[in-house]
Amino acid sequence: MALSIIFQPIFVPLYSLILIFNANTYITYAVHDQVKLFIYGITVMNTIILPMGVFYYFYRAKLIDSLHMHTARERSLPFLTIVVFQMSTFYVFRQAPMPSLFANLVLGAAVSVAMAFIINLKWKVSIHMLGMGGIVGIIIGIILKYQVDAVPLVMALTVLSGLVGYSRLQLDAHTPLQVYAGFVLGTLILTGSVVIP
């Protein structure tokens, strides 16, 4: 239960930034501290604070039955909201003088949520595992693109992902296939978003 709360998908972009800025690549040193604060600020505002405010409005307006959004029907509108905020973040990052990596990551996150939205029309994929797969994919992408030795981190994140997936199964929130599908989808899309120029 605790892992499901700590690794809510809405926090994944922030966790990813923390890892990137401590991955001992040129990004760690090439991005000025003020730029890092700007990236953190925009990310927290656009991927956590504003979406949570909109979700709460949806709940108060009875557009969703629960902030946990258990059913596939409840997830559609929040998914679209997340994509809109992520695309606005992508636009800001594209205009700002910073490495393209950050804009690419946000775009990858938006694509993964858009894919989840499409899948959600017929089936319920695990968004927790989509997020965890995204974190793993980011580190794999950094290994491939920047030739850093982060294999132990990938292994640790994969184990952590397994624990999060297990917690989702224990809560009876998903089937095993939904858990695996979310993880694989997130990993593939975010690995690609890092590796592309």
- Summarised one tens digit per residue, pLDDT across range 134-168 is 999 999 999 998 888 889 999 999 999 999 999 98
Q: Examine the pLDDT at 171 and tell me if it is beyond 90.
A: no
Question: Amino acid identity of 192?
Answer: G
Distance CA 51, CA 99 (A): 25
Distance CA 135, CA 191 (A): 9
Q: Examine the pLDDT at 86 and tell me if it is beyond 90.
A: yes
Q: What percent of the chain has pLDDT over 70?
A: 96
Q: What percent of the chain has pLDDT over 90?
A: 58
Q: Examine the pLDDT at 121 and tell me if it is beyond 70.
A: yes
What's the average model confidence in pLDDT over 168-192?
Answer: 92
Look up the domain containing 36 and give its range. 2-195
**What is the average pLDDT value for the chain, to the nearest integer?**
89
Q: Examine the pLDDT at 25 and tell me if it is beyond 80.
A: no
pLDDT, tens digit (0-9, with 9 covering 90-100), for 29-79: 778 889 999 999 999 999 999 999 999 998 898 888 776 666 667 788 889
Do 187 and 136 meet the contact criterion of CB atoms below 8 Å apart?
yes
pLDDT, tens digit (0-9, with 9 covering 90-100), for 14-23: 999 998 888 7
Among the listed residues 86, 7, 4, the one whose alpha carbon sits nearest the alpha carbon of residue 45: 86
Q: Examine the pLDDT at 89 and tell me if it is beyond 80.
A: yes
Q: What is the DSSP string of 112-130?
A: HHHHHHHHHTT----HHHH
Cα Rg, the chain, nearest whole Å: 16
pLDDT band at 6 (very low <50, low <70, confident <90, very high): confident
Other CB atoms within 10 Å distance of the CB of residue 43: 21
Distance CA 15, CA 137 (A): 13
What's the average model confidence in pLDDT over 4-16?
Answer: 88
Other CB atoms within 10 Å distance of the CB of residue 140: 22
Distance CA 21, CA 18 (A): 5
Query: Count of domains in the chain?
Result: 1
Would you state the pLDDT for residue 67? Answer: 65
Q: Examine the pLDDT at 113 and tell me if it is beyond 80.
A: yes
Do 19 and 135 meet the contact criterion of CB atoms below 8 Å apart?
yes
Residue with tokens 């690794």: 7
Among the listed residues 83, 145, 79, the one whose alpha carbon sits nearest the alpha carbon of residue 111: 83
Q: Examine the pLDDT at 27 and tell me if it is beyond 80.
A: no
Tokens linked to 86: 């992520």
Would you state the pLDDT for residue 69? Answer: 67
What's the Cα-to-Cα distance from 197 to each of 23, 183, 187, rounded to whole Å?
19, 24, 18
Chain-centroid distance of CA 32 in Å reads 24
For residue 97, the SS3 value is coil
Would you state the pLDDT for residue 4? Answer: 78
